[in-house]
Structure 1
Amino acid sequence: MKTGTSVTAAQWSTWVPVAAAVALLLGWGRSLPGYAVVLVAVCLVGAVLAAVHHAELIALRVGEPFGSLVLAVAVTIIEVGLIVTLMAGGGAEASTYARDTVFAAVMITCNGIAGLCLLVTALRKRVAVFHAEGSGGALATVCTLATMTMVLPTFTTSHPGPEFTAAQLTFAAIASLCLYGLFVTVQTVRHRDYFLPVARDGHESDPDEHAPPPTLRKTWWSLALLFVALVAVVGDAKLVSPAIETGVGAAGLPNSVVGVVIALMVLMPETLAAVRAARRDRMQTSLNLAYGSAIASIGLTIPAIALATIWLPGPLILGEDATHMVLLALTALVSALTVVPGRATLLQGGVHLVLFAAFVFLSFSP
């Protein structure tokens, strides 16, 4: 019975990414009618599920925290391509796409994903446990990157408006890359044990820990299909974005809502993978995915966008407004209080979810 189930999973996880990629190729550069948008959206959801499946297979082979790193980096690299595509094809409003998408990613990961995973684990185990050393270091990196790239531009005086000068942008890009490289080194080499799931005495072990790892050939095949699935996720999100933009404009909502919706779609693989880890009482893996995705989203996106500004038209606005800076400061404070003890309950999960709800609400009603 298990063999049949495994074969079925292998079949759908192979053809769904391919189908989503075919939908992307057929729809790219065209104006899609309503029914085609629905079909692309269905393919998008299927590609997300397939991406999570293959990411978990790869994680089973390479172990933690490398498995979390693979998914976070893969999604972020392709997300950069999506932002550059939107900025290249957009008008004056495209100057804030990078800022809106990256800030939305930080709020989604640090409050939405982290809060949901804390809630899931606390409901099942009463208390969620994780390594304060690893999670605290990751959170410090997120806060530093976010402040340096999205808060400081609002207060610098060398250039009018919430923008960096070329020299300031270059410094921010290099510093972001250095911080990202330092974090990856600490996570995977220097202090890898700080990012491994916490074992609980007296509780049932995770069956995945004792599952046989996939063969090397199957791992490479999963890596290829993961890449195809993630390309399809981001590309299909780009295909449905005109319908989202039209709906946002018709409803009279701020243009930043487009970045929020696209970030929600792009981060679905991490969200599903993190929740599934939380259900198995692997809260550290969930936080690795949440904070790791936020770090990669800033540490890789800002340098790439900074490089792209050489040929992209228009300004690059990175500085946030007062409302978002307050939300960022509150997120940093609450997250620090959550991770420092190394233990969290339903209350902390609920607080983070309320912060995420406030971000979404204020995006629609600033």
Structure 2
Amino acid sequence: MTAARPFIGWLTVALFLVFGSGWMAGLANHALALGLFVWLFLVIIWVAFGVVHEAETLAEMLGEPLGTLVLTLSIVIIEVVLISAVMLGPEGNATLARDTMYSVLMIVLNGVVGLGLLMGGIRHYEQAYNLKGASAYLSVIIPLTIIALVLPDFTTSTSDGSLSPAQALMFSVLTIGLYGIFLWLQTGRHRGYFVAQDAQPIDAKEMEHQRPSAIDKKGLFVHFILLLVNILPIVILSKSLASILDYGIAATGAPAALGGIVIATLVFAPEGISALIAIRADRLTRAINLCLGAVTSTLGLTVPAVLAISLYTGRHVLLGLPPSGIVLLVSTLILSSITFSNSRTTMLEGAVHLSLFVVFLVLVFSP
């Protein structure tokens, strides 16, 4: 099954290289457009599972901190490529990056976390996790979220929710720096915060023993090539998906924010499913690492990447959320802080998070 993923991806690439121009010219046929969209959507998700599998294999082989970097960067590359494909298309989309990051926050913090805690509460009544790790994630997520999605609405250098070039440059440096410090602490000094409490290493010396003493260079090279083989079809197919997505939103009159939801779903689907499986197996700490880690990497790496593309190409990017989005976002951050302020969770927290997720979906279609 693992080998089938890149094969299906590259087969799709070959078919689009041969027949794609004709298919794209016939998007006025709504049945064809819908069929192509569903096809590309499912193939990209399927291949994304292969990316996550190879990245996790490399993470185990490399140890920390390189392993976490490989896994994080693999997911972020997919996200940035999909956003860039739409941003740099002929239609352009000034709000796509904002909508995607906002959708990731809502889908992860309310959708996946809510469903997971509800499912875990029904199955296990209460679930324990490492409170220090969740608190560390939130201490980074909250300021990065405010800087990226709220602050641009209140600056006076611009009047439309965007950032000035100086602000974009300085905020990008700040974001990368803060994320880098977090990653260094997560994979080094405070690694114990991010493992289940009954599996924490005793001290730094024991942590050193847990790192791989020798790296299989041949195996490392093979899995790195396989990682690229899985990523490249997504990169190549992203332009076609972006064109179909743009056409579909314009033709149906769907809200522009729907594009962000589609991309967020594509990017986070493999990790989201893995998180739900971990919760079902009563491994809540791993699920929290997957969920909050995805949000942290989206804010810490995608925001600077999008701003860099904007500065280089001159494409306008709007980051500030509308008032209703700010209210829901701040409510989500407050609720997440309350949920992860106790070392045990119940189904009540899950039900409340899911309620906010439903509100998010309603506001997308009825703002």
- For the aligned pair, the TM-score class normalised by the smaller chain equals 0.7 to 0.9
Map of 1:3 onto structure 2: none
> How many angstroms apart in 2 are the aligned matches of 1:120 and 1:57?
28
> How many angstroms apart in 2 are the aligned matches of 1:267 and 1:345?
24
Structure 1, 248-257 or 222-231: larger mean CA deviation = 222-231
Q: Residue 309 of structure 1: SS of its match in structure 2?
A: helix
> How many angstroms apart in 1 are the aligned matches of 2:217 and 2:118?
36
The structure-2 alpha-carbon separation of the partners of 1:345 and 1:223, relative to structure 1 and needing over 3 Å to count, comes to farther
Q: Residue 260 of structure 1: SS of its match in structure 2?
A: helix
Residue 58 of structure 1, CA deviation: 4.4
CA RMSD of superposed structures (Å):
2.8
Note if contact 2:121-2:345 (Cα within 8 Å) is conserved in structure 1.
Answer: yes
The structure-2 alpha-carbon separation of the partners of 1:131 and 1:180, relative to structure 1 and needing over 3 Å to count, comes to same
Does residue 106 of the first structure (1) align with residue 105 of the second (2)?
Answer: yes
Structure 1, 328-337 or 190-199: larger mean CA deviation = 190-199
> How many angstroms apart in 2 are the aligned matches of 1:276 and 1:65?
25
Residue 191 of structure 1, CA deviation: 0.6
The structure-2 alpha-carbon separation of the partners of 1:101 and 1:189, relative to structure 1 and needing over 3 Å to count, comes to same
Q: Residue 156 of structure 2: SS of its match in structure 1?
A: coil
Map of 1:239 onto structure 2: 240
Residue 331 of structure 1, CA deviation: 0.6
> How many angstroms apart in 2 are the aligned matches of 1:308 and 1:302?
10
Does residue 183 of the first structure (1) align with residue 172 of the second (2)?
Answer: no
Map of 2:114 onto structure 1: 115
> How many angstroms apart in 1 are the aligned matches of 2:42 and 2:322?
35
Letter of the aligned partner of 2:8 in structure 1?
Answer: A
Map of 2:349 onto structure 1: 348
> How many angstroms apart in 2 are the aligned matches of 1:286 and 1:238?
32
Map of 1:147 onto structure 2: 146
Map of 1:6 onto structure 2: none
Note if contact 2:85-2:238 (Cα within 8 Å) is conserved in structure 1.
Answer: no
Equivalent residue in structure 1 for 2:7, among 10, 18, 25: 18
Q: Residue 249 of structure 1: SS of its match in structure 2?
A: helix
The structure-2 alpha-carbon separation of the partners of 1:249 and 1:365, relative to structure 1 and needing over 3 Å to count, comes to farther
Note if contact 2:100-2:260 (Cα within 8 Å) is conserved in structure 1.
Answer: yes
Structure 2 segments unaligned to the other structure (5+ residues): 27-31, 200-214
> How many angstroms apart in 2 are the aligned matches of 1:224 and 1:317?
36
> How many angstroms apart in 1 are the aligned matches of 2:232 and 2:112?
22
Q: Number of aligned pairs?
A: 342
Q: TM-score, normalised by structure 2?
A: 0.83
Q: Residue 160 of structure 2: SS of its match in structure 1?
A: coil
Residue 43 of structure 1, CA deviation: 2.2
> How many angstroms apart in 2 are the aligned matches of 1:226 and 1:127?
37
> How many angstroms apart in 1 are the aligned matches of 2:279 and 2:64?
14
CA shift digits 1:221-251 (9 cap, x unpaired): 4444344334434654553343333333333
Note if contact 1:237-1:262 (Cα within 8 Å) is conserved in structure 2.
Answer: no
> How many angstroms apart in 2 are the aligned matches of 1:62 and 1:360?
40
CA shift digits 1:104-137 (9 cap, x unpaired): 1122222222223223332332112111111011
Map of 1:9 onto structure 2: none
CA shift digits 1:140-172 (9 cap, x unpaired): 211110101111110001222211111111111
Residue 357 of structure 1, CA deviation: 2.1
The structure-2 alpha-carbon separation of the partners of 1:99 and 1:183, relative to structure 1 and needing over 3 Å to count, comes to same
The structure-2 alpha-carbon separation of the partners of 1:66 and 1:38, relative to structure 1 and needing over 3 Å to count, comes to same
The structure-2 alpha-carbon separation of the partners of 1:155 and 1:228, relative to structure 1 and needing over 3 Å to count, comes to same
Map of 1:279 onto structure 2: 280
Does residue 228 of the first structure (1) align with residue 217 of the second (2)?
Answer: no
Map of 1:75 onto structure 2: 75
The structure-2 alpha-carbon separation of the partners of 1:13 and 1:249, relative to structure 1 and needing over 3 Å to count, comes to same
Aligned runs of 1:1-366 on 2, under 5 Å? Answer: 12-27=1-16, 30=21, 31-32=23-24, 34=32, 35-58=35-58, 61=61, 70-91=70-91, 94-199=93-198, 217-218=218-219, 220-233=221-234, 235-236=236-237, 238-366=239-367
> How many angstroms apart in 1 are the aligned matches of 2:38 and 2:152?
39
Note if contact 2:85-2:242 (Cα within 8 Å) is conserved in structure 1.
Answer: no
Map of 2:29 onto structure 1: none
CA shift digits 1:15-41 (9 cap, x unpaired): 322321341354267344625444434
The structure-2 alpha-carbon separation of the partners of 1:131 and 1:64, relative to structure 1 and needing over 3 Å to count, comes to farther
Q: Residue 254 of structure 2: SS of its match in structure 1?
A: coil
The structure-2 alpha-carbon separation of the partners of 1:87 and 1:41, relative to structure 1 and needing over 3 Å to count, comes to closer
Residue 262 of structure 1, CA deviation: 1.7
The structure-2 alpha-carbon separation of the partners of 1:128 and 1:223, relative to structure 1 and needing over 3 Å to count, comes to farther
Q: Residue 310 of structure 1: SS of its match in structure 2?
A: helix
Structure 1, 102-111 or 176-185: larger mean CA deviation = 102-111
Note if contact 2:86-2:242 (Cα within 8 Å) is conserved in structure 1.
Answer: no
